[in-house]
Structure 1
């Protein structure tokens, strides 16, 4: 009797990081078109530091454009603003920040984490309940591992652990490489906003590169037919 075929895994979805937001009006107008153009699972909102009331107002100005498109809105830090501003969660930098944030975010909101320099820290984050781990983002000195090192870390995580892993892609080429390595999501940001063709063209380009790399590495998966890493029993 033939073995039951293993369901094909879905292609990685996009995680779109915004520029640092001061005036949200332009971004609020731009986001609906972007979120329709590509399969964006979540938006990471980077807020310019100012008083809390102003930052909450900026989040509230952007939240409908993100959430009405079916994407999650996460704040880059600012855990204390998540609930008050109506965001879906926060991205934390490092294990200590994750541990501090978990009591206020869980179980209702998303707690993601990056800044994980070692495999041990990554495993500890997963054990403590992180909803995802991010590999490859720049550190405080704007340094980051090589593309090959990030891809290797993603592949290691994908093979061994349940929580989703995200690759921080600084280019279309990296987005493609991380998709092939087994990332569940690919974070794109600065290179999308800086593209002279416009953010929509850059984002759809990245999505196509991810889909092609995933198909080459894992085979074609129809939308909605893949399973998550926990399996379907």
Structure 2
């Protein structure tokens, strides 16, 4: 009896991290064009620390530009502000922060996690209820694993676990590498905003690189099956 062919998986989607937000006005002006330039699934808002009322106001000002484009708005930390600010979820660092935030986020909002130093931590995060796991972001000292180690962790997760995995890329080349390794999403940030061509051009360029890497991966998989 012939087996039903597995539908090809979609290319990884982009997860865009903002610069640290103090005055949200420049972002409000640029986000609609950015989110129209590429397939951005979510925007991670990095808030400049200040009083809670001000941070909530900044998120509320940004939210329409993100959510009306069909993207989710997540806060980098600050899970306690998510509901009050109208955000869609939060990105937490470490198991303890995830476990503390879950009661306020679940079941209606997204709880993502990074800061996962070991495979055991990653599995514990998945079992605790994380909606995605992030690999490759800098630690508190600014250190990151090698690109090869990040790609290996993404491939391992992709092959064994159900929750999506995200690769933290600091260049177009890393984004392509992580797409080829099996990332469901690729997080991009600073290098997009500092690109001399402009953020929209940089984002579209990264999306092309991701799609090319994904297409090559699908072609390799098909060849191995034949």
> Could you say which TM-score interval applies, normalised by the shorter chain?
over 0.9
Residue 224 of structure 2 corresponds to none
Is the 8 Å Cα contact of residues 177 and 213 (structure 1) preserved in structure 2? yes
Cα distance in 1 for partners of 2:160, 2:213 equals 21
Cα distance in 2 for partners of 1:142, 1:206 equals 23
Residue 71 of structure 2 corresponds to 71
Task: Please state how far the C-alpha of 1:7 moved relative to its aligned partner.
Answer: 0.7
Matched residue of 1:102: which SS? helix
Residue 19 of structure 1 corresponds to 19
Bigger proportion of residues as helix: 2
Is the 8 Å Cα contact of residues 8 and 219 (structure 1) preserved in structure 2? no
Cα distance in 2 for partners of 1:38, 1:121 equals 32
Report the TM-score, using the length of structure 2 for normalisation. Answer: 0.96
Residue 176 of structure 2 corresponds to 176
CA shift digits 1:133-172 (9 cap, x unpaired): 0000000000000000000000000000000000000000
Matched residue of 1:139: which SS? coil
The RMSD of aligned alpha carbons is 0.9
Larger relative contact order, structure 1 or 2 (CA cutoff 8 Å, min sep 6): 1
Residue 226 of structure 1 corresponds to none
Residue 5 of structure 2 corresponds to 5
Residue 119 of structure 1 corresponds to 119
Q: Answer yes or no: is 1:103 the counterpart of 2:103.
A: yes
CA shift digits 1:4-41 (9 cap, x unpaired): 21110000000000000000000011000000110000
Cα distance in 1 for partners of 2:79, 2:61 equals 18
Q: How does 1:139-218 map to 2 (within 5 A)?
A: 139-218=139-218
Q: Answer yes or no: is 1:82 the counterpart of 2:47.
A: no
Is the 8 Å Cα contact of residues 17 and 46 (structure 1) preserved in structure 2? yes
Residue 132 of structure 1 corresponds to 132
Task: Please state how far the C-alpha of 1:219 moved relative to its aligned partner.
Answer: 4.0
Residue 92 of structure 2 corresponds to 92
Task: Please state how far the C-alpha of 1:2 moved relative to its aligned partner.
Answer: 3.4
Name structure 1 gaps, 5 residues minimum: 221-233
Matched residue of 1:108: which SS? coil
Report the TM-score, using the length of structure 1 for normalisation. Answer: 0.93
Cα distance in 1 for partners of 2:133, 2:73 equals 16
Cα distance in 2 for partners of 1:202, 1:76 equals 22
Cα distance in 2 for partners of 1:197, 1:6 equals 39
Cα distance in 1 for partners of 2:64, 2:78 equals 19
Cα distance in 2 for partners of 1:197, 1:161 equals 38
